[in-house]
Chain A
């Protein structure tokens, strides 16, 4: 018993050290951002000292514009992500379940997927101007493929013996999807959602920077052209923090949903890539 508690304690203190090292790295990075402009290595006009940025950030948090911009970005991100996850899952399972459909659509999917979604920007502007629909077009086009491809991989990975067994026992189409296809596909789907969540955020911000739809990206380009440099950096930091939260959240969701799955139980990283 004492051996195992010692083990647990050792592991815990090792984790604390890793955590402290990471914290030291972050503090060092902040210090660098403070020192470089103060010593004049980079002009403070272009990069204000870190403390100035933090003060600007706190002032900005008190304003209503900040929260509107933040919620606009998150709204477009969430709506776009949900639509692409649902569409990608349904279409992926439908295509993946039929050999004929999969062979026929293969070339088209491989052809459409690498088309950069930013190519659609002018069309979106013409149709919707700088409304949220423009952002949604870009976000959905970019993240839909991430989900679809992973779901297709997943459906293909279904154990043929399990499939045959289900068929022999007379499971209906719906029951086969629910009890055979779905559990195999789920880890792939979660990978797809994780990738799509990050891509959706990039495209939401892209649309705000490029076509002035409301949100954090628009605040950043507005503050740059208005010369409010410290506030601009404050928004860049906020965008980064949102990005970190999205990444960590997607990973946590993945671990939670797949807690039963061997790949998570054995803590094997990265299913499917």
Chain B
């Protein structure tokens, strides 16, 4: 995409130069900082090591990530499963599209108070919030993807009387997958927001809960180390997402590239 310098050593240098410079600036300008809110990076990193490489990690990080993965995967499966029939039938689509657009437009964090009514303050509520927040981008993008399937291919599949399952697996799902992944990517960032906010709002464990505790008790280096941990989780999840996308959609990006070159 970007014309990177070819030699690997130079490439590494160019990639790392600015991040290293920024971290170094933070390190040196904050060294010996007396500002209560902005402690030195050194003390933040020391706290980070103590805090997250211990039993705390099990107590706070594991429940958060479990709730996120259960909610996100359920939302993805449901969104695709509902999106395919809706996208395939014009009448169903016309009937449901305004309702779905409305449900998608509700900012997901307002679901937290609503679901507390139904499911209390426990794990079910938090996983449900993530399901209900993440499902709409997947669903609507699946609908759009199924709708824009290649018509000639659809006719071919029909004239060869290819069975329903084979049609789904070899034609509908691959054809709609670029759009489905667009939806999944949007949902991932919504899911992370909801994971954190639902724990800040009402919880007894989780990263969001820990962050609020540190902030309320003015444990500032701990709070900063929690912020850094959340940042790292965000980055790692997006790297995992990209790896899966590259694996499943490699054919599509290759196709696009060769089309563009032609």
Give residues in A with beta carbon < 8 Å to B. 17-18, 21-26, 28-29, 46, 99, 102-108, 111, 113-123, 125-127, 156, 201-206, 209-210, 216-217, 220-221, 223-225, 229, 232-233, 235-236, 239-244, 246-247, 273
Contacts and interface: CB of A to CB of B under 8 A. Distances in A.
Interface of chain A, helix or strand or loop or mixed? helix
A251 B16 CA distance: 38
A57 to B, nearest CB: 15
Q: Which 3 A-B pairs have the closest CB atoms?
A: A243-B105, A224-B113, A122-B215
Contacts of A121: 196-197, 200, 211
A25 B18 contact: no
A45 B95 CA distance: 29
Contacts of A18: 94
Interface of chain B, helix or strand or loop or mixed? helix
Contacts of A111: 19, 235
A116 B15 contact: no
In which size bucket is the chain B interface?
35 or more
A260 to B, nearest CB: 24
B103 interface: yes
A104 B193 contact: no
A205 B110 contact: yes
Nearest to A22: B98
A61 to B, nearest CB: 18
Interface of B: 2-5, 14-19, 22, 37, 91, 94-99, 101-110, 112-114, 116-118, 182, 189-190, 192-193, 196-197, 200-201, 208, 211-212, 214-215, 220, 223-224, 226-227, 230-231, 233-235, 237-238
Contacts of A122: 211-212, 214-215, 223, 226-227
Given A103-B4, A121-B197, A156-B2, 19 more contacts: A28-B95, A102-B2, A105-B18, A116-B196, A116-B231, A116-B234, A117-B193, A118-B193, A119-B211, A122-B214, A126-B37, A126-B220, A127-B37, A209-B109, A217-B110, A241-B105, A243-B104, A244-B105, A247-B105
Given A22-B97, A46-B117, A206 B103 contact: no
Nearest to B105: A243
Contacts of B3: 99, 103
Nearest to B178: A273
Contacts of B114: 220, 224, 232-233, 236
Nearest to A20: B94
Contact of A210 (B37, B101, B197): B197
A60 to B, nearest CB: 15
B216 to A, nearest CB: 9
A26 B99 contact: yes
A28 B100 CA distance: 13
B96 A246 contact: no
Contacts of B196: 116, 118-119, 121
Contact of B2 (A103, A203, A210, A239): A103
Contact of B109 (A46, A102, A107, A217): A217
B215 A126 contact: yes
